[in-house]
Structure 1
């Protein structure tokens, strides 16, 4: 989580969602692949309600995830959201993830 927070305010145009998660995990010596699809096949697949801080969280189906972030716990996550935005901390209240990968 500390590694992920070092990217706060990085523009999406420099780092999309899966590049952000890849870079954050690389900072702690973990290779997770470049794409959302590759990252969704790692670790143990769990429902979002079972996510723990540090887990990858995904939106979309298992076979076609379209967004990834890192769960911070307490209903918060960090991600690179979309064009024109920066890496930031958001609430899952308005954008509930579909599933998680326990890392």
Structure 2
């Protein structure tokens, strides 16, 4: 199932988004990934994205398609989609373009979560 939204995410390489949350919400909404009964659309607000996850986990337990978050669980400041092999896809900074990035000690997420 993760393949579908990873495919959509990869079609966005080089496109500009005003935030990492806007990029992830676009991918989830375009992929028609289910959300709870309270809402029909994924929100670009990072706090809301965290609340919609079915399972929070440590980074080392992440699987392709999981969302990676930087910051505290109640106050994240960035999000990306893990694609495997120590790589993720995201918008690096506000107003930046979507690109594949490498997890490293200088930019390592604080937690991750499963969408399904």
TM-score, with structure 2 as normaliser: 0.81
Partner of 1:90: 101
Say which structure is richer in helix. Answer: 2
1:62 aligns with 2:65: no
Partner of 1:100: 112
Aligned mates of 2:18, 2:69 — CA distance in 1: 17
Which sections of structure 1, spanning at least 5 residues, go unmatched?
A: none
* Residues 14 and 99 in structure 2, CA contact (< 8 A), matched pair in contact too: yes
Partner of 2:3: none
1:27 aligns with 2:30: yes
Superposed CA RMSD in Å reads 1.3
User: Which of 45, 68, 92 is the matching residue for 2:56?
Assistant: 45
Q: How many residues align?
A: 101
Q: Secondary structure at the match of 2:57?
A: strand
How many Å apart are 1:83 and its aligned residue? 3.7
Aligned mates of 1:37, 1:51 — CA distance in 2: 19
TM-score, with structure 1 as normaliser: 0.90
Which sections of structure 2, spanning at least 5 residues, go unmatched?
A: 1-5, 34-40
Q: 1:62 to 1:3 in 2, by over 3 A?
A: same
User: Which of 12, 15, 31 is the matching residue for 1:10?
Assistant: 15
